[in-house]
Amino acid sequence: MIAAKHSDKRERLVDAARELFHRRGYGETSLADIARESGVPVGNVYYYFKTKEDIAAAVIEQHRAHMTGIAQLAETRPTARERILSMLDSLACGCDSIAHSGCPMGSLCVEFGKRDTALREEANRLLLRMIEWVERQFAGMGRGDARALAIQLVSTVQGASVLALAMRDPGILRQELARMKTVVEGLA
């Protein structure tokens, strides 16, 4: 393979890691699990990543890119209100997955939030970016309480994700997302 400088193994490793970190958590996922799931020999993982934390950093980067995609889709809408509603619709697509394994970003933030590692900051930055994006939209609607509203919205999404996981019921998350849509629609 000359055109493709490297194989797709690195990408396969990150994809498998993201999936496993979501389903089982970072601490409960071994490198052997990631290697098996991505069809890469165990010892070979270290050719692509120096440490397990480096894999986590790549996974967080994938989540960041995914959130950026959701934001870019929302930004095709003409008004700030519609942009927020678009983001809520995008989140609603993942309800079933969240009811089964929780919010991938929220879970990582809670898990790394309990550790003293550089990953903590990187994971938390995901939630912070989300809050700030929503805040900008509320500010664009002329709300002086944009920050508080953004925290309320993201907080609701995260909390409903926890409850949906605990009760194994995606309906809880759907219900809260729908409620937040009516809240946003009802704002002056």
Partner DNA sequence: GTCTATATGTTGATAGAC
Partner DNA sequence: GTCTATCAACATATAGAC
Q: Which residues bind to its own copies, rule: CB under 8 A?
A: 23-25, 27-28, 101-102, 106-107, 109-111, 113-115, 123-124, 127-128, 131, 148, 151-152, 154-163, 165-167, 172, 175-176, 179
Question: Smallest distance, Å, CB 133 to its own copies?
Answer: 14
Give 32 or 148: the residue with its C-beta nearer to its own copies: 148
Question: Smallest distance, Å, CB 42 to DNA?
Answer: 6
Residue 87 in contact with residue 138, Cβ under 8 Å?
no
Q: What is the DSSP letter of 107?
A: H
Closest alpha carbon to 137 in 180, 185, 97, 82: 82
Give 44 or 79: the residue with its C-beta nearer to DNA: 44
Give 28 or 145: the residue with its C-beta nearer to DNA: 28
Residue 58 in contact with residue 119, Cβ under 8 Å?
no
Question: Smallest distance, Å, CB 34 to DNA?
Answer: 8
Which residue is it, tokens 């000359």?
Answer: 2
Q: What are the angstrom distances between the C-alpha of 140 and each of 38, 60, 135? A: 43, 28, 8
Chain residues that interact with DNA, rule: CB under 7 A: 3, 5-7, 9, 29-33, 40-44, 46-47, 50-53
Question: Smallest distance, Å, CB 158 to its own copies?
Answer: 4
- The span from the CA of 10 to the CA of 4, in Å, is 12
Q: Which does 32 bind (CB under 5 to 8 A by kind): its own copies, DNA, none?
A: DNA
77 phi, psi to nearest 5 deg: -80, 150
